[in-house]
Structure 1
């Protein structure tokens, strides 16, 4: 039996030493051995900081996003072979889809969001500028740039593919290379996924490396340039967080750890309601998917005291009807084994502690179960790691063990409550969790619960009849939303869309003149030079247009007749535009004033170049603010300046954001906004 190889410094490597055996979760058969004895860990880190950094830095956000999409499409074609490998971990096909398809879905999501929400550049401007001098000659601007080190991910055994890709995607999009250190029991699944990624040839050199085995000195070689993303037990997270290089050396550390997640059944969600049924389905799903080995599983079912017995009966009936425990390669099996006999022993120990603390087993058993074997027969599998779904009931809702001991398997505890406020307090006893659900169709209950528990959780789900079918579920983190939680859950934060990309970047305040900030950021700032010479900027394709290209219009007078005509043609007869006496009584207006939208419409007429040209479409306005009212007899002019240019990698056009400023005859700012247009990359003429 050979060791699972590592992928280091652009090549596959495996030691000659005898490794730790890893076994099939259902049969106990040895699948592989795991060792990294003699691996050049410092060399891998240096390779990431040099080769990986250079390769990723040569690409923009959009180019990296396209590679994520390409990789997702490639891995979609290799799912079946990954499912086959995953089955050895005790995962059913459904479990493997959550892990493998879920990971591929993360790549798709970041591939899309990277192109829609980030510039086609390597620097992100964060928020508006801060004016630091009276004359506007000195500004401050926050920017994000990628970290110059390596993102190290230390993953748990339960999601060897999703856990890797959900950390890899934002790091890659940020431009930071990744080193993956999977958990030993399922390292061979992660290795199979990395092998497929390497064989795709899509990623730049040094973007991804794999350490297939224990690497206890890994953090010894990291410094302030690097970051560590950990998923696993709280005890291990605390040990890593206490490492000198984290405490004193500036290594950024994010932890996602133990979590006694709660699901609260609202008092209105009585038996027979859609909310009660949805709650039962959710609880059974979280008990059985991945054999309950999910950091987001429901560990505490907090239900009205009067509904404890009906809930237990409903869950027991659904488990009996829907759940078949056995080898995931056998037809009809819906729940597989725990990842190993060692993990099963750990779960049994924790359940024993819960029972000793007052928990009563009301569904399931701790005895070796009869299961469906790979050949379709039924029998015992003493070399496997099977366990029936187990439901406990705590008569004492405040029993400390119910809120502090996690059995990381198909185990949940039912706890009763008498008031909604008590349910909120019970959920908070978990000491910080990844996710909580409240099943209710009562808006007041939902508001009370969310306001009470939100600060204790990273994510909350309101489950009712309106979203029960479309909901992604209690236990399913999605790449668009934050995954993590305070307190016991680790205090970290992953995913959350582009937020997680910024976790791999440094936010820096840059101070300087408008001209210098424009040069550094690639975005025009008020006070920087404009170019008013040459062709109208709407006659310039992206190949010709430059930041600061501008057009300034002449003044146009606004008359009372213009205001009245606009009011009549649009139906906007708000009194400020039609009633002199009422308008003058308004503290903001001197009398009748022009509609803001009239001014914006006229501004478009003042700056537009009407003939067909590179500007293909106007697709919106942003940040529109009306500053100074315009009275009949006043005049307005507009200055339009190319503020930000974003070419699209896959299209023959890109976006241009224009800074638009409307002034009156006294050079007071009337309105300020951004105009968004689509502009062709090239155009036959510039006349």
Structure 2
């Protein structure tokens, strides 16, 4: 077992102030393989103080300096790419192919995209005789999740650096090792002391300390809606900016004129990807009622072809879910779906038959799901698909919008104009039309209880900027 008992504060690895530790468990084996220190409020205070001291200098760094800093970070990230992918696979169970091609790649993609944005971004604009300028918001606190660990670290750290902010990051204690490797990247890249700081710990201690700290100007949180509400409440007393990327229950409307085999195949695979542990997964598949049996047959085939197993084995499609807590919760929700009358057509409770340890979930498909059932309302965060039949397009749109969430959504039609028209009626921050992938230059974020603010690309950069009006800046001399 490897110990990681230090935090990164003011440009150096320093011991934790307390003695609490936590074992990091590999979800594929259920065995602990590493140990981290859990931070205390005193550790957060030290890190925030370092970030505050550094902000006075870094806020006025030139564009050239920030570009060069991001270039250096990207170069070292590429050098440590395999280490990052292996850490992600071990800590949260992603198959190695997925860890390399998607998980680690996402982090690099965000850093590269914000570098592209920074090179040409106009921080000043002229309005009459006023110059409107955009300046860094200040010291930022980042609380990041375990399901896409480097994706969420990079899409916060990258734009914060581009904006001129300093930061304290708390990676998820469930999957902290990739965050430690990323911190080693930042150190090797020569990020000046105090600009980037990392304190491991749990939400009630380190997360709470970041959210309430009077010297934190902005907190950016990614995680569950329940935890996001707690962060917002904690931040309210200091009126700091709060950006949140929270839960989702994304509808996938397959219209009657769609190629149902292709659409259901794609949608089911997307639902199961990353073992279902994506906030934007298309977990509610809406199909015409008279074609539900066709959809069931296709989804059942996809479930049967999904290889659940060892993340290190060739051919594995999905690995385990991240923890026993998640495993138990998903099992409970599957049982609840059966109890509430949904028709189980693939998968079900328990591990796959060939696996006797690890937090593995059977790829599961329910049909005849009503939108008032628990499995259609709650974010399951596992490879569980709900198929909901609809009578007509109006009902499909109504069902899609009947959720407290509004993160992502999906629409498929044989007629692009038809798909576009339906997409405009969905109350969500994102719509994938006809299977289109996401775009790192476009904003990522949601409506309603899926959060506020936007990440990725220019929109992510602007979340870390304050707007200042300088009246008379361009006035003629008296």
Query: For the Cα contact (< 8 Å) 1:514–1:528, is it kept in 2?
Result: no
Query: For the Cα contact (< 8 Å) 1:18–1:33, is it kept in 2?
Result: no
Match of 1:354 among 325, 330, 337: 337
Match of 1:71 among 67, 70, 73: 73
352 and 328 in structure 1: CA distance in 2 versus 1, 3 angstrom threshold: same
Aligned ranges for residues 639-678 of structure 1 at < 5 Å? Answer: none
Give the 3-state SS of the residue equivalent to 1:483 in structure 2.
coil
1:235 aligns with 2:195: no
| 2:327 matched residue in structure 1 | 344
| 1:6 matched residue in structure 2 | 7
C-alpha distance in 1, partners of 2:283/2:20?
38
Give the 3-state SS of the residue equivalent to 1:452 in structure 2.
coil
Q: How far apart are residue 33 of structure 1 and its match? A: 2.4
Q: How far apart are residue 32 of structure 1 and its match? A: 1.9
Indicate the structure (1 or 2) with the bigger Cα radius of gyration: 1
Match of 1:388 among 362, 367, 386: 362
Match of 1:209 among 187, 191, 197: 197
Match of 2:51 among 48, 52, 56: 48
C-alpha distance in 1, partners of 2:269/2:64?
37
Query: For the Cα contact (< 8 Å) 1:4–1:188, is it kept in 2?
Result: no
Match of 2:130 among 140, 143, 158: 140
Bigger RCO (CA 8 Å, 6+ sep): 2
Give the 3-state SS of the residue equivalent to 1:34 in structure 2.
strand
Query: For the Cα contact (< 8 Å) 2:259–2:413, is it kept in 1?
Result: no
| 2:103 matched residue in structure 1 | 99
513 and 283 in structure 1: CA distance in 2 versus 1, 3 angstrom threshold: closer
Aligned ranges for residues 363-378 of structure 1 at < 5 Å? Answer: 363-370=346-353
Structure 2 gap segments, 5+ residues each: none
Q: How far apart are residue 211 of structure 1 and its match? A: 1.1
Query: For the Cα contact (< 8 Å) 1:158–1:293, is it kept in 2?
Result: yes
Aligned ranges for residues 71-470 of structure 1 at < 5 Å? Answer: 71-88=73-90, 89-97=92-100, 98-118=102-122, 124-126=123-125, 128-130=126-128, 139-147=129-137, 149-201=138-190, 203-214=191-202, 215-219=206-210, 222-223=213-214, 226-243=217-234, 246-271=235-260, 276-277=261-262, 279-321=263-305, 323-370=306-353, 379-382=354-357, 384-396=358-370, 398-453=371-426, 456-463=427-434
1:511 aligns with 2:471: yes
1:478-500 CA-partner distances (Å, limit 9, x unpaired): 331111101121233222x2222
Query: For the Cα contact (< 8 Å) 2:333–2:374, is it kept in 1?
Result: no
TM-score (normalised: structure 1): 0.65
1:248-282 CA-partner distances (Å, limit 9, x unpaired): 321111111111011110110144xxxx41x2342
TM-score (normalised: structure 2): 0.92
Structure 1 gap segments, 5+ residues each: 119-123, 131-138, 371-378, 516-526, 530-687
Q: How far apart are residue 34 of structure 1 and its match? A: 3.1
1:311-350 CA-partner distances (Å, limit 9, x unpaired): 12112213323x2111111222121111112211111122
Q: How far apart are residue 223 of structure 1 and its match? A: 3.2
447 and 287 in structure 1: CA distance in 2 versus 1, 3 angstrom threshold: closer
174 and 395 in structure 1: CA distance in 2 versus 1, 3 angstrom threshold: closer
Query: For the Cα contact (< 8 Å) 1:222–1:251, is it kept in 2?
Result: no
Q: How far apart are residue 37 of structure 1 and its match? A: 4.4
1:37-81 CA-partner distances (Å, limit 9, x unpaired): 455211210110112x14423522343133223322321122112
Higher helix proportion, which one? 2
Q: How far apart are residue 429 of structure 1 and its match? A: 0.8
270 and 10 in structure 1: CA distance in 2 versus 1, 3 angstrom threshold: closer
Query: For the Cα contact (< 8 Å) 2:442–2:459, is it kept in 1?
Result: no
C-alpha distance in 1, partners of 2:342/2:67?
49
C-alpha distance in 2, partners of 1:216/1:489?
19
283 and 41 in structure 1: CA distance in 2 versus 1, 3 angstrom threshold: same
296 and 528 in structure 1: CA distance in 2 versus 1, 3 angstrom threshold: farther
C-alpha distance in 2, partners of 1:310/1:32?
47
Q: How far apart are residue 394 of structure 1 and its match? A: 2.9
Query: For the Cα contact (< 8 Å) 1:437–1:460, is it kept in 2?
Result: yes
Q: How far apart are residue 513 of structure 1 and its match? A: 5.3
224 and 450 in structure 1: CA distance in 2 versus 1, 3 angstrom threshold: farther
C-alpha distance in 2, partners of 1:225/1:505?
14
C-alpha distance in 1, partners of 2:140/2:423?
34
1:344-382 CA-partner distances (Å, limit 9, x unpaired): 111112223333333222111212213xxxxxxxx4332
Query: For the Cα contact (< 8 Å) 1:55–1:205, is it kept in 2?
Result: no
Q: How far apart are residue 403 of structure 1 and its match? A: 3.7
C-alpha distance in 1, partners of 2:207/2:116?
36
250 and 291 in structure 1: CA distance in 2 versus 1, 3 angstrom threshold: same
C-alpha distance in 1, partners of 2:216/2:477?
33
C-alpha distance in 1, partners of 2:47/2:444?
28
490 and 356 in structure 1: CA distance in 2 versus 1, 3 angstrom threshold: farther
Query: For the Cα contact (< 8 Å) 2:142–2:221, is it kept in 1?
Result: yes
Give the 3-state SS of the residue equivalent to 2:408 in structure 1.
strand
C-alpha distance in 1, partners of 2:287/2:409?
13
RMSD across aligned C-alpha pairs, in angstroms? 2.2
212 and 430 in structure 1: CA distance in 2 versus 1, 3 angstrom threshold: same
Match of 1:492 among 453, 461, 466: 453
Q: How far apart are residue 292 of structure 1 and its match? A: 0.8
Query: For the Cα contact (< 8 Å) 2:27–2:322, is it kept in 1?
Result: yes
Give the 3-state SS of the residue equivalent to 1:75 in structure 2.
helix
